[in-house]
Amino acid sequence: MVPSLPLKTAALAAAVVLFQGCAQTPAAQKPSDATVAAHVAAATRAAGTDLGPLLSLCKPAPATRPPQEELDKGLPLLINRPAPPPAKAFDNLYFVGADWVSAWAIKTSDGIILIDALNNQVEAAALIEGGMRKLGLDPAQIKYVIVTHGHGDHYGGAPYLAQKYRARVVMSEPDWTMTETKLEFATPIWGAPPKRDISVKDGDRVTLGDTTVTLYLTPGHTMGTLSPVFDVSENGRKHRAMLWGGTGFNFGKDIPRLDNYIASTKRMDSIVKAQNIDVMLSNHSNVDSSQAKMAALRQQPAGAANPFVMGTPTVERALNVMGECAQAQRDRFAMQ
């Protein structure tokens, strides 16, 4: 089935332009150690006792991107960590990822939508294909691979899946352009990016069978980061889920990009409220504590509350933590 990819209305386009323009408005207070401390304190309050992993964003970020030699040395250590077992998070959502980076399979009435494809072909075969089979899913049913952003730990396995299963690869226009021109990070571990396929804009949708995934452009981590929003279900009860498409500040001293990140958290907060989004996922399990939640699911009795269901106020708090940490980092850079 061909995905539904409607064009944005003029009103939505105007709203996005206006919102992006607001992101460039200078802060009312001059950046200082005091404003940094205030943002960190606000993030800490918002994190409470349950969102502590997100506070790592409040630590000072390097002013330059990691050098290639550091990348080549550090990535294998991350990639070679033992992978957690694949798991069912909801009746229609499955984790088929690695220890460091996640991949999520959405089961629909007409096939599977995969969100992200891990580091490379080896992981795609062992963890995505192998994980699906262990969970009773057929990898041949992968119809779409949504790549949240153009870094190799998310697109690495996509060329393999596209070639083997003729899966369509979906990415935003800015990140298709980035992967075709100048990669932010490049290492042989990831291999070449996928060939351009489906290019999406803010608000476009991928529909397969009974499931629609709405793709929101949330620039910051990359300029074309996508955050998918979709329904999940458990025992007949629906929940609304958002996968935050790119979290870390690994792009060096780039204040406009941090402004975009901050604006993205604020904009998505309004969408979370409007759509009652009560599940927030990530493509890195250290961000959303998905491994701990899957372990809890394996141990808890039938009928117990699903640990992935956070509630809308908690999703809002998570966005607030990320936004406040981004503001702290922006002020640090502004003082340099």
H helix count then E strand count, the chain = 12, 12
Burial of 9 (0-12, 13-18, 19+ CB in 10 A): exposed
The domain ranges of the chain are: 10-335
pLDDT tens figures, 245-297: 999 999 999 999 999 999 999 999 999 999 999 999 999 999 999 999 999 99
CA angle 46, 51, 53 (to 5 degrees): 125
Q: Which residues pair with 281 in a beta bridge?
A: 243
pLDDT tens figures, 100-155: 999 999 999 999 999 999 999 999 999 999 999 999 999 999 999 999 999 999 99
pLDDT tens figures, 209-221: 999 999 999 999 9
* Helical axes 255-275 vs 10-22, angle rounded to 10°: 130
Is pTM beyond 0.85? Reply is yes
What pLDDT shows up at residue 145?
A: 98
Label residue 303 by pLDDT band (50, 70, 90). confident
Q: Which CATH number fits domain 10-335: 1.10.357.10, 1.20.120.330, 3.40.50.300, 3.60.15.10?
A: 3.60.15.10
CB 156 within 8 A of CB 117: yes
The yes-or-no verdict on residue 11 having pLDDT over 50 is no
Nearest to 44 by CA among 325, 330, 329: 325
C-alpha 2/C-alpha 6 separation (Å) is: 12
Strands 237-244, 226-234: pairing kind: antiparallel
